[in-house]
Chain A
Amino acid sequence: MTKNGLANVLSFRQLVITLTLGWLMLMVIAPHALVIMTSFMTPDSEHLAVWPLTLQGYQKVLQPIYFDVFFHSLWLSAIATVVCLIIGYPFAYILAKQPPWARAVMLVLMMVPFWTNSLIRTYAIKLILGKKGVINSVLVGTGIVDQPITMLYTEFAVIVGLVYVLLPFMVLPLMASFEKLSADLTEASKDLGANALQRFVHVVLPLTAPGIIAGCLIVFLPAMGMFYVADLLGGAKNLLLGNVIKNQFLVVRDWPFGSAFSITLIVMMAAMLWLYVIANRFVQRQGGLDDENL
């Protein structure tokens, strides 16, 4: 019995550990290593990427055309992130203050649109913003404007699309940090004579900073990759990083360049995550939260 039990411990335990490490090794670590390797290889029309190792891919990233796309993409994603934060912060606060059942209902309501696939929803935004779209029909129909307003195929449309797809991802981490925010702390600062603005700036804002940073990262990084939003709503001028990467991988088939572009994105992501960890530590040292990773 005991012997059998011991064998069970070993086998189940080993199975679970092997599965965990094996899966992550094969599907996460190996692929990332391969992309890093590809980014230093030479493009080849037949075999996609061949030896010898070069820096061509990275030199191409620095070419003015791609550099411009890179910055324009950063800019569009940054605006979308700020808009998400401005809408999401008070919204998450309100949600966190609801009784559990109301919060659950609102969270589910936030999730339901996802079941239609984000590409289809982006297409629906196109129907709303178009020259003959819903908004313009109403505006022209009621005589508020004579000529339909151009909204589609502009930066504005891309930002509306990005915010639409990503807003829930801003709300969730913010809500989590509002839930952790103890009412005692705001009460205490109130008793000590802090007014509403002071309470917000010195207590609420610093203590929800990890949520703000996490939310911004979860919105900002994916935003740069959302090629379909740019394709459907942005026209030819408002490209995102994702459009360049997709184009290099699936159309032009310059994999080393595509990989180099992605590595640039990964490095940026790593830098931001590092900042996040630092900010988190800073907040902890301020004696606020007990936050733990995974």
Chain B
Amino acid sequence: MRIFKIFLVALVFIYLYAPIVVLVVNSFNQSKYGYKWTGFSWKWYEKLLANDTLLTAFSHSVTIAFLAATAAALIGTLMALAIYRYRFRLKQAASSALFVVMMSPDIVLAITFLVLFVALGIQLGFWTLLLAHITFCLPFVVITVYAQLKGFDNHLIEAAQDLGAGEWLTFRTVLLPLLLPSVMASWLLSFTLSLDDVIISSFVTGPDYDVLPIRVFSMVKVGVSPEVNVLATLLLAISVISLIIFSLLVRRKVT
């Protein structure tokens, strides 16, 4: 039984990581086609550095992920607060709308966003991309923060208010600092979702704001492209380094 468990866990992780390993190894492979190892080389890295369109798309994707995660963490926290603390009309409708966003397949969300932006006459590009990314991250922030709010000691809020703090002051000085772990966790989740997205980005961005999935799609649709391997390796390296910094920061906070 124990062997079976280890075997299964190992198998799942091999499945999840085999493609990643292939990408990373091939980013250093001299051979273009990546089917055989023909020697170590930095040449694809040099090639990527010379590929301005791909680098621009890369920086756009990271920018959007960063901004969307930050805005979603902020707005989502306020939404969780509204749903937890206040009674208002259409509250049930608001929770249902969040649930719909969470459950809807990306393709459905993508076309609803596209139809909205076109109906409103907004030029597709940076802003449409950002609005769409914030929206699809929101429900994940709301559930994460809401879950922590439910375990919250309401006496702290009452104490703050007895001492004369208004809602805003209570939020800023009592709730937000204590909610920080779930806000940060939901930021990380939003960043991940945004960076991973292909479907929604393909629909809501325009020619003047190229993002990674669209550029990469045109490169790998036919044939292979070693620069993409390099890009994946860099993305992975950046993310892992940020994760390590992030977890160190959190640990320092806790102890």
Contacts and interface: CB of A to CB of B under 8 A. Distances in A.
A31 B94 contact: no
B156 to A, nearest CB: 17
| Overall SS of chain A's interface | helix
Contacts of B33: 132
Interface stretch (A20-28, A58-66, A180-188): A20-28
Contacts of A132: 33, 35
Closest 6 CB pairs of A and B: A8-B166, A225-B107, A124-B19, A31-B112, A115-B239, A31-B116
| Overall SS of chain B's interface | helix
Contacts of A38: 115
B142 to A, nearest CB: 7
A142 interface: no
A110 B16 contact: yes
Contacts of A117: 61, 195-198, 212-213, 216, 232, 235
Interface stretch (A151-159, A198-206, A262-270, A281-289): A262-270
A294 B114 CA distance: 27
B81 A16 contact: yes
A242 B107 contact: yes
B155 interface: no
Given A13-B86, A225-B106, A232 B118 contact: no
The listed residue with most A CB atoms (<10 A of its CB), out of B111, B142, B236, is B111
Contacts of B13: 109
Contacts of B16: 109-110, 113, 164, 167
B8 A28 contact: no
A241 interface: yes
A258 B224 contact: no
A8 B168 contact: yes
B236 A112 contact: yes
Interface string B7-37: 0110011011111101100100000011110
Interface of B: 5, 8-9, 12-13, 15-20, 22-23, 26, 33-36, 61, 75, 78-79, 81-83, 86, 88, 90, 93-95, 97-101, 103-108, 111-116, 118-119, 131-132, 135, 138, 142-143, 146, 164, 166-169, 171, 192-193, 195-199, 202-203, 212-213, 216-217, 220-221, 224, 228, 231-232, 235-236, 238-240, 243
A228 B107 contact: no
A126 B33 CA distance: 12
A267 B254 CA distance: 46
Contacts of B171: 12
B100 A20 contact: no
Given A113-B16, A117-B212, A28 B101 contact: yes
Nearest to A116: B232
A91 B108 CA distance: 30
A44 to B, nearest CB: 13
A34 B195 contact: no
Contacts of B238: 115
Given A8-B167, A119-B217, A128-B18, A222 B105 contact: yes
A278 to B, nearest CB: 16
Contacts of B216: 117, 119-120, 123
B19 A259 contact: no
Contacts of A82: none
Given A19-B79, A227-B107, A137 B198 contact: no
A109 B86 CA distance: 38
A35 interface: yes
A164 to B, nearest CB: 7
Contacts of A100: none
